[in-house]
Structure 1
């Protein structure tokens, strides 16, 4: 039986965490392996920031445990020796669900490296089972290729995603839109999917939702917007704004929309960077927010100000968002929350 049939639901990301899970970078699989040291320092900054709020488990290739231990120390940080190829645990890791008794389970989605873009992915596809076994968590195997960064839930029946990613033919070409929607709802315990059209320009994940929109609470969505009509993201974000303005959630509510201005357009080695403040990560009592500095100083300030107003009881902990973005993602992409068990 699937999680929904057994009354398991995916909690919202702001619910209490038992811990955060992160995979350490693997140089051989990086887009720019020459940036390995910079990326590792960026990961270390993120991990130490999260550890200020909650325990962190870092998946590390066994031969690198000693080196990573020296970089991170041991205060609220656990190293788990486990082979993997890519360090985007949001996407290849398990999605956690809970039942009414507070018991935890993990959904093991199929993973094909974002539409077979980066081979091999067999080690990454095996990570969820190894993690769930390590923590003694029940496993549900979903018959669907899906990355965790492509979905976001409100904890009250509604899920956000994009057609560009979840309906992409490089994931589940044998399934219809209706079949994909049914499976996503069954394995997350949701009742309605709100489909945005596209993700950010240049996003090699084919438009993950975690760069453009997220729930702040049931009935409340934060949307990154672009105000420059010459920017490719202008049409993308305006279209998504119109969809959200007309949408109703699983409880029939119209959505309150909080707009967050995107950082200025930036490039790295001729490729557009998918800079996003929406790639922040909820932690217990706080938010880990990537900021970008330089030309983005003003939008950085606005992002902190906006999120602090939306979440007055959380501490906004900023980190250098430029450290790992050259590899394609940011704080939310590299993390996976394990909800607290009752």
Structure 2
């Protein structure tokens, strides 16, 4: 699997069309549509975007996006393309394939629907005319992050989740990641952020906790307020990363990215995170929260990804629905 910092030919997204993602009122639905569209426009400044759209949402999608994106009409349950779409990999000759992770609603959660979304990996592979490879485990794109040189970040709370991979072992999961992604070293974190481990979360995706900015360089979510339960999680993550080496034997350089200063919303502790950004070609599409730490985070990302322009998009409507900018995007590497 190439590093996310490599060149991209296209970014895939999915447009919100139903259920909790749209919410209970037309005002909430428009807030979701507007935020997804804002992200798509920001991405399109650097990389072409294909928006997968349920037939019922085509009018709304075109109303919000016009000719900014390409459209692919396909039935959807939800709109988290990082998780429902395939992970793209290259073989030794450089030929792309698409890994289908057997999406099952983040571990067959009671509130999730996935009958349609489970077919999106195959649909996207078909759009690109590339081979789909069925994984032997259940995973989502948000559950992994790689450096492109054999190292992966992952959480036990996701990969060893009985709702995804009953009776799985670390060794078995690592063997499948080696087979599908060319990974030779998995750095295991125990869990994700607090809210993401609650009822309506993913059970702990790594992509709001830590990510590779470059081989040997890891950005991590740094909750600095001891009142927030993620304060202890940030300490655990920092310690685990500090003790780790990558597949090449390098000690990791750690870059703390302070969490937003806001601690709670109407539903409880927030999991707002600047880690959940998209790097694509000349840009970094970053989450913003109308928070005093937004500018500091953007500066850190600009330094971590030199030569790329940081565009920040208000991501509060995304996080209110369970994710961020990285969660709704999936990169297709350049041939």
SS in 1 for 2:164: helix
Match of 2:108 among 105, 109, 116: 116
1:321-340 map, 5 Å: 321-340=315-334
1:291 equivalent in structure 2: 288
Which one is further off, 22-31 or 177-186?
Answer: 22-31
Instruction: State whether structure 2 residue 194 is matched by structure 1 residue 181.
Output: no
Which one is further off, 32-41 or 62-71?
Answer: 62-71
| Deviation (angstroms), 1:316 | 0.3
Aligned residues: 328
Runs of 5+ consecutive residues of structure 1 not aligned to the other structure: 1-9
Q: Is the 8 A contact 1:291 1:321 kept in 2?
A: yes
| Deviation (angstroms), 1:31 | 7.4
SS in 2 for 1:243: helix
2:49 equivalent in structure 1: 56
| Deviation (angstroms), 1:338 | 0.6
Cα-Cα RMSD: 1.3
Instruction: State whether structure 2 residue 301 is matched by structure 1 residue 310.
Output: no
1:6 equivalent in structure 2: none
| Deviation (angstroms), 1:176 | 1.9
Distance (whole Å) between structure 2 residues aligned to residue 31 and residue 69 of structure 1? 16
Match of 1:127 among 120, 124, 138: 120
TM-score by length of 2: 0.95
Distance (whole Å) between structure 2 residues aligned to residue 33 and residue 127 of structure 1? 25
Q: Is the 8 A contact 1:261 1:303 kept in 2?
A: yes
1:79 equivalent in structure 2: 71
1:258 equivalent in structure 2: 255
| Deviation (angstroms), 1:68 | 1.3
| Deviation (angstroms), 1:13 | 0.5
1:241 equivalent in structure 2: 238
Distance (whole Å) between structure 2 residues aligned to residue 177 and residue 312 of structure 1? 35
Runs of 5+ consecutive residues of structure 2 not aligned to the other structure: none
TM-score by length of 1: 0.93
1:129-278 map, 5 Å: 129-203=122-196, 204-278=201-275
Distance (whole Å) between structure 2 residues aligned to residue 266 and residue 240 of structure 1? 19
SS in 2 for 1:227: coil
Q: Is the 8 A contact 1:41 1:323 kept in 2?
A: no
Distance (whole Å) between structure 1 residues aligned to residue 215 and residue 203 of structure 2? 26
- Tell me the alpha carbon deviations over residues 192-246 of structure 1, each in whole angstroms, 9 at most, x when there is no partner: 1000122111111111110010001111100111222222011101011011111
- Tell me the alpha carbon deviations over residues 236-281 of structure 1, each in whole angstroms, 9 at most, x when there is no partner: 0101101111101111110000111111244343233320000000
Q: Is the 8 A contact 1:50 1:56 kept in 2?
A: yes
Q: Is the 8 A contact 1:199 1:206 kept in 2?
A: yes
Distance (whole Å) between structure 1 residues aligned to residue 18 and residue 30 of structure 2? 9
Q: Is the 8 A contact 1:25 1:39 kept in 2?
A: yes
Q: Is the 8 A contact 1:44 1:72 kept in 2?
A: yes
Q: Is the 8 A contact 1:108 1:141 kept in 2?
A: yes
Match of 1:26 among 8, 14, 17: 17
Distance (whole Å) between structure 1 residues aligned to residue 112 and residue 215 of structure 2? 38
Distance (whole Å) between structure 1 residues aligned to residue 95 and residue 333 of structure 2? 10
Q: Is the 8 A contact 2:10 2:332 kept in 1?
A: yes
| Deviation (angstroms), 1:104 | 0.7
